[in-house]
Structure 1
């Protein structure tokens, strides 16, 4: 669907943006609003460059639509109810409708008054923007060593208890029937503070990749204000009701929300989950005192009301639970019915077991996925699992320690199941021991062959998994071994065995994957060292896993700063969806064209060899040397910060080694590496190194540079002109890092970072895409044509993965309207139409502004860069 169709029929709306929105923001908000308004099964794929206020635009569009939808839905329900009872006496119908309006308004006013009082108190105690988690008690906080943002959210299923609704009383049977038809069945006394006025209303589920991105979204959520969700006809007599606070609730894992010291200090999320559920069992003497129950119902309601009143983040919920002495993880669920916006990380939304555990219902609700450029990888990561030979050895050793202590007490099913766990470990370990002798470093594993090892295929894997989960076997073994090793260390009798780690939980995750194998998944082996090897499960396609989200929600919006190219989302997330159900929009940037300079560098000069950093050609020493000279020239004319992205860590190491060598016939001081360091302070990202430390040093080197750009005219000036950062596409610097203003005056992308097509996982991915595409097309096309289209679909997927990574790196520069930067794409292939069409629209616009894109040489590029930054210096001088 094109942009004209997106905006057609959408009147000029007030999106209640806290600032005057730019044209591109209006375009984005109209597109998002239209997707939500069009109804069931709509998909929006929306791209708006980083720095254009995307999050705030999403908030304003979605909340404006939600409030309008609530008002419209209420008015329509009343009108339809009146029509249904046209044969009833008018006075009965009018009385019932009047009562319905009055009771809804009363409940709405009582709720708003209650929340308003809480907001006033919170504001008095502490300014909301300054509230952050306090670290006064290390034992009541989660473990200091944070795990990965994507992995820490994964949850086991929990049992949820839902409370039934009471029936209204005081009316005759006939009257109750009429009230039920009019929607008055639940409008009764509100002794327990139920959010009846919000019950069953549409909710917005907003998800992003990391905890920090969600926190940033919540800070944006606090900026705008929106009108009430009730029709004007109900509010016209109340002139004081001009706005209604946003009711927001963040959801998270126990690891971030548990306030029980004996549980939270376990550190490992699986161990925390197991211990938490164990402490809720009736046979447990030391039941958790913080879990909501009949005795602390009032505190639970206080928690709910405070959460809905204050736009909290996860840290605020943790502190609130600690203050009220009620579990934030469970108490937050009581706020779900009354919430309008619920924020949660990817895995809590994408994994059905996690949604079920938290009571999340997507049916009829809106899903907004931000930073959606990596949604396909996120789906795969949620369902991925792995186990290594060293972990299996450790698991077997831990099991032996446990059985030595408790073996005689194991009876019946426990004895049988523990023996089966040992047999599974031995079988997987035996297969991996043999696989160490395989010639290839990695490959696909036949699950049938794997399961024959030690006769694992004779075990009922489903029953075994259920036993491990229900008995908390992994938690008990790991907990006991940790305690035993701790005591041994205190007694000085500790052996050389490694400290306790959740390897049995890791094994359980792999067994679950092994038991749920489908045509979309594969098992791989990969050697990680001369004496260690691992098995891993990978989801080849996100289609089936994501379908439960796409088919349930009223509408799904995928939003990101660099969504281009779009084809993969439609082909692999929604392959069977009609075209009229999908809206794609790519917005421009908020900066004026004069603030962007885009160049493609195809060759060093007219007669020189072209730059092509393909795997076969990129090791050419002459080309590497010419690349260094080009970057040296760029550093001469570009002030402050220059960030260069390479295809991989290995190639970055190779280039730095080549630049560090002295040129033929030149003294050592003339090595390119030394010449670069004369121009700028040089920093580089290393695999496994600390990106924070490198970024801090890079920033300090730039900000400490004299800001008088007139000193940059002479290339022989020994004074360093800012800093140069050498990084990697897909590395830590290529996503989530803000190179705004002086930190990123120029971003250089070297080559196209195609994934390793010879790796086992990429071979399997491309074969799967080709086979499934062929299967889909063969019924409607001749076989040769269908086969060609299937092969092209696989090639497009491979190339799109590369270009998404490039586009994400480009997006590190230009972060606000007043920012300016140059983008240099070094490779002849960037000038081809096929690749150029996969760049974001605002970058393509910059290329068009620059005129010639084919065979652009170093001289042309340097002239363009020099003129661009000269104009910026002149503008800055005139402004001062």
Structure 2
């Protein structure tokens, strides 16, 4: 274990740290000591997760010592990532640190944690929630009862990820879901998915208290979209009609269950669902009748609404006024609770008395709470009409329901075509400000691909005082990066704009170029396309002219599957080929897809990443159009020559590209190539990750083939990769006497503070 003195704080690190890791830990420590927010960008393979954990836990350990006499709730580190597989990897890193004695928990849903045989086999997550709550309430869940009995022993469990906790719960017959929640109260660090933090509803439900805590968002390159999605919601005429159908059946059951004739027919041998009296539902008949009238009014008004014209949505207060017309406003906590109670009642009895699962009731409750959000204590966040800022940030888009849904509609009112009402949040800053307003100590965003930083921090609309953009730890001879503007033979321009990508000549030229290039690349190759449709089209062409067969002979071609089960079997097949077939394999994947992040393609699993085209979002997508229009409107009165919608549109595409590029170098001794098959990259190198830019050059086909051959030749005959040492590491440790533990005081080079200049995007978005 090695020890470093950073701003007066001793940080223990499992290995000799590189300069970029020390710079990174310096930035983390500074954020936490000063109680400031930070944006921390460090390329994949530079050990950012380990640096982040060690620096933050070292600070927390010292903070707890200095504040041991405080009567306030303990300060915690809340560590969020996008997927549970990513969190499992972080927990694995945590166990390798000297801080693994600290208390942790990993929060997950019942989908991951429930072990009750009946509940875990339900297909729908909402059903699992409702049935679980019912069983807990009625004390019919053995695992929850055992959890209640064993709480004192459970809190003594060693650090566990979700898989470990499920295994322990299964063996000892206690509930892992409630165990994770119990461990949260005393944990030093809590791991959870993004949505638990960004969604105010989820924070309240899971009782997540971020006050004075350190909030970390790992893999934060997706956080803008995650923030917007957390504050967006949709409801349809079909949903409302289903709500009415559910409530009508409940009302009929309430009347029937109170009759003496019905009660006399209920045998003590009847099943649990039927042998229940009216007291099982706490809502009164008057309350449920009032709720039904409100929903009938909502359905009637939605049917009368006009669909959105010209793809330009209406201000957010349309949804506000729609609810208000049915007497639903910021005091709607009672309505929300009643909807949830009825859903729980129905879900626990589905398949017997009721055919419905009550899902639509939860959708309506979610819609109401999104428009009228509640804080962590269940109180309304806003007690006034929607102000100008919220009107501009939120937009309403109304469209007609699919004809198939219309035939299924169990509606009381079928006079008009059914509609869908989308309530979109178009500013990620709304969710981030709501989080920040809970009095967090620091919010840290980290990833290998956050650039461009200026627009990123401005979109999120909270102050970021400390920013770091690390260089990579590799040497120049470990990466070959080139832009290829023309195909093999120098005849066809490579550009996959929409009008070109369907051209058979372009598709054939692209195929010829690809199958020639992979001749000079060993091991695995990842080829990223803008969309699945393009993969389907080019593969169909290549299969017709034998190009695909030639590729498959050189490297086994595997095409990314959208189905989760088939995808997992594909990955096993890919790994088997990489290990056993010298030719290697080539994966055709989609930018922003499963293969672009979260999977470790280290060493020979990925010796090259090839980018085909630029993955712009579908320009006709309604939400994309709304976002671009929103940004352009925000820029009115400023610099009219700059269209902020276009700036954002381009940035999102290149951030996805930079994420794909990160698949190729996974650690300090790794090496590989990054190839851009599109001439447009020549004019856009400034949009690539900062660390990558010095490596990139434009070449013709002959130059690329020669360069690749020479690049991989240096690694073909010996273990050169194992001999690579980094000059920064050599310089830094040259004067250090090696021992089991080293104490070093550092002065990082690349931490910056407040950015000196703001572009037009920042100036405008600050006003939104």
Which residue matches 2:202? 354
The change in CA–CA distance for 1:545 and 1:862 in structure 2 (over 3 A counts) is: same
Aligned to 1:846: 695
Decide which structure has greater helix share: 1
- Aligned match of 1:691: 567
Equivalent in the alignment of 1:79:
none
Q: Which residue of 2 aligns with 1:614?
A: 497
Q: Could you tell me how far 1:698 is from its partner in structure 2? A: 2.9
Report deviation, 1:406. 4.5
- Secondary structure of the 2:687 match is coil
Residue 504 of structure 1 corresponds to 361
Residues 285-364 of structure 1 mapped to structure 2, 5 A cutoff: 286=139, 299-304=150-155, 306-307=156-157, 310-318=158-166, 329-330=177-178, 332=180, 335-336=183-184, 338-364=186-212
Equivalents in 2 of 1:826, 1:615: separation in Å?
A: 15
- Report the counterpart of residue 474 of structure 1 in structure 2: 343
Could you say what secondary structure the match of 1:787 adopts? coil
1:264: Cα distance to partner? Answer: 5.4
Contact 1:35 1:555 in 2 (8 A): yes
> Matches of 2:103 and 2:496 in 1, distance apart?
51
Q: Which of 98, 104, 117 is residue 248 of structure 1 equivalent to? A: 104
Paired with 2:225 and 2:301, the residues of 1 have a C-alpha distance of 30
Residue 640 of structure 1 aligns with which residue? 523
Q: Does 1:383 align with 2:377?
A: no
Asked if residue 725 in structure 1 is aligned to residue 575 in structure 2, the reply is no
Residues 356 and 817 (structure 1), Cα distance of their counterparts in 2 relative to 1, 3 Å cut: same
After superposition, residues 355-754 of structure 1 pair within 5 angstroms as 355-387=203-235, 398-399=246-247, 401-402=249-250, 405-406=253-254, 411-425=285-299, 428=302, 430=303, 444=313, 457-460=325-328, 466-470=334-338, 472-484=341-353, 500=357, 502-514=359-371, 518-519=390-391, 520-525=393-398, 531-532=404-405, 534-551=420-437, 552-574=439-461, 577=463, 581-604=464-487, 608-662=491-545, 671-688=546-563, 690-706=566-582, 721-754=583-616
Matches within 5 A, 1:37-56: 37=33, 39-40=34-35, 42-56=36-50
CA distance in 2, matches of 1:535, 1:357: 25
C-alpha RMSD of matched pairs (Å): 3.7
Q: Secondary structure at the match of 2:49?
A: helix
Aligned counterparts of 2:600 and 2:633: Cα–Cα separation in 1? 40
Structure 2 SS opposite 1:837: helix
Deviation at 1:743, TM superposition (A): 2.1
3-state DSSP of counterpart to 1:483:
coil
Change in 2 beyond 3 A, CA 1:474/1:443: farther
Asked if 1:66 corresponds to 2:67, the answer is: no
For residues 61 and 10 of structure 2, the distance between their equivalents in structure 1, rounded to whole angstroms, comes to 12
Query: Partners in 1 of 2:689 and 2:93 — Cα distance?
Result: 25
CA distance in 1, matches of 2:180, 2:673: 47
Aligned match of 1:18: 14
- Give the match for residue 760 of structure 2: none
Offset at residue 566 of structure 1 (A) = 1.7
On the 8 A contact 2:494/2:506 being kept in 1, the answer is yes
Q: What is the deviation of 1:803?
A: 0.9
Maintained 8 Å contact 1:279/1:288: yes
Match of residue 869 from structure 1: 712
Structure 1 residues 159-216: Cα deviation after superposition (integer angstroms, max 9, x where no partner)? xxxxxxxxxxxxxxxxxxxxxxxx59x6xxxxxxxxxxxx644321111111121121
Is the contact between residue 646 and residue 652 of structure 1 (CA under 8 Å) also seen in structure 2?
yes
CA 1:426–1:741 in 2, change beyond 3 Å: closer, same or farther?
farther
Give 1:812 deviation, angstroms: 1.7
SS at match of 1:644: strand
| Larger of the two Rg values belongs to structure | 1
Corresponding residue number in structure 2 for 1:804: 655
What is aligned with 1:787? 639
For these two proteins, the number of residue pairs brought into alignment is: 661
**Larger RCO (alpha carbons 8 Å, 6+ apart):** 2
Instruction: Rate the CA distance shift 1:800–1:393 in 2: closer, same or farther, 3 A.
Output: same
Q: 1:373 to 1:646 in 2, by over 3 A?
A: same
> 3-state DSSP class of the match of 1:788?
coil
Alignment of 1:134-145 (within 5 A): none
TM-score by length of 2: 0.76
State the distance in 1 between where 2:366 and 2:175 align: 27
Secondary structure of the corresponding residue to residue 482 of structure 1:
coil
Contact 1:565 1:803 in 2 (8 A): no
Cα gap change, 1:626 to 1:259, in 2 (>3 Å): closer
1:31 aligned to 2:27? yes
CA distance in 2, matches of 1:463, 1:860: 68
| Cα separation, 2, equivalents of 1:320 and 1:874 | 48
Distance 1:481 1:12, change over 3 A: closer
